[in-house]
Amino acid sequence: MQGNLPHSVLFCCDHNSVRSPMAEGIMKKLYGTMCYIQSVGVKNDMEIDGFAVAVCDEIGVELARHRSRSFDEMEDWGDDLSSFDLVLALSPASQRRALDLTRFYHLTVEYWPILDPTGLTDNRDEKLVKYRQTRDQITEHLIARFGPPPDPEA
C-alpha cells in the first residue's frame, strides 16, 4: 500500500494524548515538511501522556509541548477539516468520528489498528515496553504506507 505522500495528513485517536501525537511527531521526523501533518482526538480530556513523551524522546521526537485538541476545537481554531487529503484513524472511536465527517467533507479515511498502550500494566518498565511497541508499530505503518523516508544527506 506504499504511495506518495499526500499534501496533508490528520491523525486521530480517542484523546489526542498518546497514539495520534506520537504518529504526528514520528511522521514529521521521517518526512519533514514534505506534507502538512496534524493530530486530533475524539475528545480533549487529557494532556499529553508522559510515557508517550519518554519513548518518543528516545528516537529524537519531541512531544512535551504538544497540546491535545478535539475535532471540534480544531475547527474552532481555524483548521479546516476539508483541507486534509487523508485522515488516519488509530482507534475505532476515531474512525467512526472521521467517517461521520465524510458526510460533510470529502475526506479519505484509513483505519490503522494501533495498540493502545495505556492501562495494560502498572509496572513502569512493562509500560515503557508497551509504549515502545506502539511507537514502533506507528513507524512501521508509516513506512509501509508512504515508503522509506528521504535520506537527509542526499
The reported pLDDT for the residue numbered 1 is 46
Place of cell 495494560: 120
User: Is pLDDT of 3 > 70?
Assistant: no
What percent of the chain shows pLDDT beyond 70? 96
What angle in degrees, to the nearest 10, is found between the helix axes of 124-146 and 19-31?
50
Tell whether domain 8-144 is in CATH 3.40.718.10: no
Average pLDDT over residues 126-150: 95
Work out the average pLDDT over 12-28.
Answer: 96
Q: In a 10 Å sphere around its CB, with 0-12 CB exposed, 13-18 middle and 19+ buried, how is residue 2 labelled?
A: exposed
Q: Which residue type sits at 135?
A: R
Reply yes or no on whether the pLDDT at 153 is more than 80. no
Of 16, 67, 35, nearest to 150 by C-alpha is 35
Residue extents of the structural domains in the chain: 8-144
Query: Could you give the 3-state DSSP secondary structure of residue 39?
Result: strand
Q: Rounded to two decimals, what is the model's pTM?
A: 0.92
Please name the residue ranges forming H helices in the chain: 19-31, 50-57, 71-76, 92-101, 124-146
Per DSSP, what are the bridge partners of residue 36?
Answer: 8
Contact criterion met (CB below 8 Å) for 8 and 152: no
Spatial distance between the Cα atoms of 31 and 19, rounded to a whole number of angstroms? 18
Residue 34: per-residue pLDDT: 87
Question: For the CA atoms of the chain, what is the radius of gyration?
Answer: 15
